[in-house]
Structure 1
Amino acid sequence: MHNLFSHSSLSALTLLATLVSASSSLEDVSQPERARRGLLDFEIDIDLNTRLIAELGIAITGNVLPLTSSGITLDVGFGRGGHGLVENVSAGRSYAITINIDGSDYDVILDTGSSDLWLTKHDFVCEDVNGTVIEQKECYIGPGPPGFSEGSIDDQIFNISYADGEFASGGYGFGTVSYGGVTVPKQQYALVDTLYWFGDGFTSGLIGFGFPSIIAGVYKDPKSHNHTSPMYNPWIFSAIENGDVVPGQFTIGLYRRGKNDTNGSPGGFLSLGGTPAPANLPYTGVWASTPIIQFQSPHYNISPRYSTYHFQVDGFTVNGEFMQWVAPIQNDTGLTAPSTLDIGTTLTYLHSKVVDAIAQAFDPVPDRYPEVFNQYYPFCNSTVPEVSFRIGGQDFAVNPRDVLIGDAESNVSNGFCTLGFWSRPAEQEADGYLPSGPLFGANFMRNVVAVHDVERYQLTFGGVHWD
């Protein structure tokens, strides 16, 4: 979920949400049950996976927490984009965790494309797309804490905008924030007083696991701070710095949604301090690490810094044919724009040449629909090509159900499904000073576990085979 600054029309968001929410044409069995069956039916080489994990410097952790599903999406097109379960919310487009602030529990969206933790104030103002004040209930978001238990910050403002046009603004303060058995006292976070939001009805805000450099705070009086931005450690970095998450690694694994899953249903897991043991997940034995790439822009006087989880892709394979990677060039560095891994994005956005190569391998070959975002919508009964992405020298296969997604009951007639890989508009994928690089979203992440090592600045991917 990126705090980009492009906007989409509400009608487009509604349509796109319809496409994705209709993507659950899966068997009528809960994901935990499907996972259990998968472990029974899939032969796992525990020794091999244990050795590979150790060789890559990844710890095994038992602090594995659930993610739950959320209908929120911050995709530019869709609207959204401890060891514990990650819950799917609504249509499973985003994922939520339960945190505790000052003794009270709150469900919040997990996002790796931003860094702040924010929740709503009790008296927040809800606005529509035109900035008109509407009833609070129209934002479909739960209440946050009544106030900051450990003091507020008077000279800072929280202000974030998302790719779909949603935004949140308010003030910063401090409180005790706990998750997965890890408690961070006097953690800085934001309470929002103005909001334009497509909520899910049960989450109360969002927690970002991105790097500190992209926090969304500004000073009320920039001149008094030499026009610099405020800086603080987001919750995950506070926990690591305090020695409560050791090593400084967290892992995300996403389940595939069942058609009867609802808001709050199990959607995956988030583990703190490493990755789950090989005996507990259907690991394929394919593992690879790749450096997290710093963002920089000499043209805009932005020095190299870690921001979101950028990485390079070696190439991709379609039906056994390997092809070189294609991405825009950043003009002021001469480098290929890196890819980004983001749990808050529903689909995967690639260069049009990559998307075309995948689409042309379908049988029958689908058409693009200019009236529906100019994307491909294959027949649901199409023969789906084998697709994999090479990262760190290893090929990670994408399940056919993540290549061709659901039943697109919208402007496209029934019987069509959504291609899981979308291209950006031509002007966005062109070379430039801030080109839009590839963005790997949840449909890719359902085929791997992603270990985010923020101490060694690397991403490690482990292939998984859900049923």
Structure 2
Amino acid sequence: MGIRTLLLALTLPLFDLAHAEFHAIRHLSLAPRSQEAVALPPAEFNVAITAKTPRRASKRNALASLRRKPGKRSPGKRPLRLPGGGGSTVVVDGSDFDEEYLTNATVGGQHFSLIIDTGSSDTWVAHKNFNCFDIDGNPVSPQTCAFGTKGFDTAASKTFQLFPNVSFNITYGDGEFLSGPVGFDTVSIGGFSVAKQEIGVPTLTAWEGDGINTGLIGLAFPGLTSVFNTTDPTKASNANQLPYSPLFLSGVAQKKVKNPFFSIALDRGSFDQQENDPFDPNLGFLSFGGIAPVPVTNTAVTVPVEGYSTTTGIPSNAPGSEFFFYTVNVESFTFPGSKGVVTANNNTILDTGTTLNFVPDPVAAAYNAQFKPAAVLDPDFDLFVVECNATVPDFAVVIGGKSFTIDPRDQILPAGTDDNGTIICITGTQPGGPDVPEDIFILGDVFLHNVVSTYNPVAGEITLTERAKY
């Protein structure tokens, strides 16, 4: 969700089923499986989204907000969140210089634009009576949080049910936080409608909004959900975490889809649009029950989701390991000069909520040196800055024996202007930390623009299909 990183680190093991046996779902990692691509059915419904809302002027200086690196984990800690019927498809919008991909949704019959996030698991919508804070915890005007609506009016929903004596509580690595009540309501996206879905309805919000979104749809696994058996957010911990079924898994349980797939195709915006226009309509598809309806090639592979050890917090497919993120085994990153650096890392997640690729530091340094002229690491932002018209070197990611090439247009992004009004550009592939098992790396929208990613959280599999040039 715009390069946001979950800050809450909880000691493993995660689940205390005595507290949550009525709604917790345990997802164990399975043994390695074939890498032949699974045959995917097409989605049955395509629902266009057309809307346009201006962004806050303060969001135009986006360079600082782009630097939200993957969080660090300590051994024995839960992995950190990196920062958001029969088949239906909705068109995806983009906002905040395409940092966030949005879809229209209804919650309790009320309409919202929500961020699509495969790197988290909670669905939440700001409450109508939210109180806005800055990241230091100081009360500020509600306009400062810049939600796209006045918020969710739970009293006006005929289907909302409060979940008493619990709280939703999440903090992001950039200092943003959300806390408040939890309830159950009907959440609908196009033709995909889930009844009695557990959602957060935060009343305390420190949020750097874009004037468009009012919340988020999390599509990852139950272990990353953020509901706790306490009404005091300062007491949220592993001991009182209440894992629950995220939106898509609830829909599968309610038989809203014939096949347990959801699929995402994210379109890139043009350089011009990203720099000058705050909002893109129709930037791809979020599909339920099958593969998103965009042209693809014959290059495809199905790979297992990597689980995490419940004792070390490091990726593992050993018996008893748990699913949290959509983590994939990267065999290598290939680019000019890549033979001189170890480029494989097996703690890499697919995250629609992150704009950039964050790869091991040696990979980022070696790749960015190949731009002509070479990209330069800015020490203030820890980002590689590059000339906007630089020549982009080739870059591909090898997963499951298949090589997926990243289009050069995704590797140079406008990131605001300097004091003289000159556009500042950064590269799409940035340093994510030392190449050690404890670090989580990300393939964000820069990579995802070039594939259709189709997820089967029930089987613990991901199918990547190369998109035709567009």
| Structure 1 residue 268: Cα displacement | 1.5
**TM-fit CA distance, 1:231:** 2.4
AA at the equivalent of 1:266: N
> CA distance change for structure 1 residues 55 and 151 in 2, over 3 Å: closer, same or farther?
closer
Counterpart residue type for residue 7 of structure 2: F
Structure 2 CA distance for partners of 1:337 and 1:371, relative to 1, 3 Å: same
Residue 102 of structure 1 pairs with residue 108 of structure 2: yes
Aligned residues: percent identity?
27
The C-alpha deviation readout for 1:321-357, integer Å capped at 9, x for no partner, is: 6577546xxxxxxxx6510110010111011111122
Q: 1:363 aligns with which of 350, 354, 372?
A: 372
Match of 1:394 in 2: 402
Query: Is contact 2:375-2:427 (8 Å) kept?
Result: no
What CA distance in whole angstroms lies between the structure 2 residues aligned with 1:325 and 1:455?
A: 33
**CA deviation map 1:151-189 (0-9, x unaligned):** 211121100112222111001111122222122222211
- Match of residue 36 from structure 1: none
Deviations 1:387-444 (A, max 9, x none): 11111101111111112223663379947631111113xxx53636xx2222111111
Q: 2:450 aligns with which of 437, 447, 461?
A: 447
Match of 1:29 in 2: none
Secondary structure of the 1:227 match is helix
Per the normalisation by structure 2, the TM-score is 0.77
Q: Find the aligned partners of 1:131 and 1:321 in 2 and give their Cα distance.
A: 45
What corresponds to 1:138 in structure 2? 144
1:304 maps onto 2:315 in alignment? no
Corresponding position of 2:204: 194
Would you say the 8 A contact 1:361–1:385 is kept in 2? yes
Corresponding residue SS for 2:302? strand
Cα separation, partners in 2 of 1:80 and 1:292, compared to 1, 3 Å: closer
Gaps (5+ residues) in structure 2? Answer: 9-34, 60-64, 71-81
Matched, 1:431 2:436: yes
Q: Give the gaps of 5 or more residues in structure 1.
A: 7-52, 328-335
SS of the residue 1:108 aligns to: strand
Partner residue, 2:357:
348
Q: TM-score, normalised by structure 1?
A: 0.78
Aligned match for 1:282, one of 278, 295, 298: 295
1:431 partner letter: V
Once residues 397 and 235 of structure 1 are traced to their aligned partners in structure 2, the CA distance between those partners, rounded to angstroms, is 31
Residues 1:272 and 2:288 are matched in the alignment: yes
Q: CA deviation at 1:262?
A: 3.6
Match of 2:15 in 1: none
Q: Does 1:383 align with 2:411?
A: no
Asked if 1:232 is matched to 2:256, the reply is: no
Q: Structure 2 counterpart of 1:59, which letter?
A: P
Q: Give 2:279's aligned amino acid.
A: N
For 1:332, the equivalent position in structure 2 comes to none
2:429 to 411, 421, 425: 421
1:56 equivalent in alignment to 2:6? no
| Contact preservation (8 Å) 2:336, 2:367 | no
1:19-44 deviations in whole A, cap 9, x for unaligned?
Answer: xxxxxxxxxxxxxxxxxxxxxxxxxx
The 8 Å contact of residues 403 and 419 in structure 1, kept in 2 or not, is answered as: yes
3-state secondary structure, aligned to 2:130: strand
Please list the CA deviations of residues 172-219 of structure 1 after superposition, one character each: whole Å capped at 9, or x if unmatched.
111122222122222211111100001111221111111111110111
The answer on whether the counterparts of 2:126 and 2:214 sit within 8 Å (CA) in structure 1 is: yes
* RMSD between superposed Cα atoms in Å: 3.2
Asked whether the equivalents of residues 448 and 461 of structure 1 are also in contact (C-alpha less than 8 Å), the reply is: yes
CA distance in 1, matches of 2:172, 2:66: 6
CA–CA distance in structure 2, aligned partners of residues 290 and 339 of structure 1? 13
Is 1:129 aligned with 2:129? no
Determine if the alignment matches structure 1 residue 249 to structure 2 residue 261.
yes
Work out whether residues 452 and 459 of structure 1, in 8 Å CA contact, stay in contact via their aligned partners in 2. Answer: yes
- Shift in CA distance, 245/402, structure 1 to aligned 2, threshold 3 Å: same
CA distance in 2, matches of 1:226, 1:447: 37
- Shift of residue 319, structure 1, vs aligned partner: 3.7
Quick one: structure 1 residues 91 and 416, their matched pair in 2 at CA, closer, same or farther if it must change by over 3 Å? closer
Residues 88 and 288 from structure 1, CA distance in 2 versus in 1: closer, same or farther, beyond 3 angstroms?
same
In the TM superposition, what is the alpha-carbon distance from 1:367 to its structure 2 partner?
2.6
Inter-CA distance 57–123: structure 2 relative to 1 (3 Å threshold): same
Aligned to 1:238, the other structure's residue is in SS state helix
> Where do 1:298-337 residues align within 5 Å?
298-299=311-312, 304-319=321-336, 325-326=342-343, 337=346
Match of 1:85 among 82, 91, 100: 91
The residue that corresponds to 1:458 in the other structure is 461
- Over residues 203-262 of structure 1, what are the superposed CA-to-partner deviations in whole Å (9 max), with x where a residue is unaligned? 211111111111101111899x99342122111111111111221111111111133444
2:18 aligned residue: none
SS at 2:211's partner residue?
Answer: coil
CA drift at 1:105: 1.6
Counterpart CA distance in 1 for 2:196 and 2:38 is 34
Bigger proportion of residues as strand? 1
What letter corresponds to residue 243 of structure 2 in structure 1? M
Q: Does 1:293 align with 2:306?
A: yes
Displacement of 1:94: 0.4
Q: Contact 1:75–1:344 at 8 Å: present in 2 too?
A: no
Partner Cα separation in structure 2 for residue 372 and residue 276 of structure 1: 36
2:7 match: secondary structure: coil
Are residues 204 and 415 of structure 1, via their aligned partners in 2, closer, same or farther at CA, if it must alter by over 3 Å?
closer
Name the aligned partner's letter for residue 263 of structure 1: F
CA contact (8 A) 1:75 1:345 kept: no
CA distance in 2, matches of 1:65, 1:452: 20
Greater shift, 296-305 or 452-461, is seen at 296-305
Q: What is the alpha-carbon distance in structure 2 between the residues aligned to residue 64 and residue 323 of structure 1? A: 46
